[in-house]
Amino acid sequence: MSAVPNTPHPARHLLRAKGFVDAHYFDPDLSVNDMADAAGLSRSHFTREFSNTFGESPRAYLLTRRLERATALLRNTDNSVLDVCLSVGLSSVGSFTSTFTRTYGESPSAYRARFPDPRRLVQVPECYVRLYGRPARKSARLEKTAEQPASSVALTD
């Protein structure tokens, strides 16, 4: 029996579901049923095919995506562990912490402590430092031109 020519290979459906997870991992209500719907398969068939194709269950894949995003947020922001937990679609800080510790071998707080404060990593161009680092000069001429419409202000210096 030959395949129907316009029917995509099942892996494409599974890749569509993976893409759906990657785009919606932060949704706390995201379920295996949603992933199966994105793939156009029944839940049981989807779970079986996904596991056989990618070597992990859809639920494990979703959790992996959430934890990967959590590590990036812990490294690059100063958001609290609670905020990181909620922003990746998880609702229990306790479960997040225990799963994170089991996966990475250290708590989210300990993981964050190994990286520099993200505020130190922000690089501000020198021209902005000079511009905003100068004291504001108040003069009658500047106050007068500030009240005029921009089109009528003449630049004289």
Query: Which pLDDT tens digits describe the chain residue by residue (157 residues)?
Result: 455 556 556 588 899 999 999 999 999 999 999 999 999 999 999 999 999 999 999 999 999 999 999 999 999 888 999 999 999 999 999 999 999 999 999 999 999 999 877 666 667 677 766 666 665 566 556 555 555 555 555 555 4
Burial 96-124 (b: 16+ CB within 10 A, else e): beebbeeeeeeebeebbeeeeeeeeeeee
| Domain 10-119 bears CATH identifier 1.10.10.60 | yes
Q: pTM, whole model, 2 decimals? A: 0.69
Residue-range domain boundaries for the chain: 10-119
Separation in Å, CA 51 to CA 31, 58, 67: 15, 7, 19
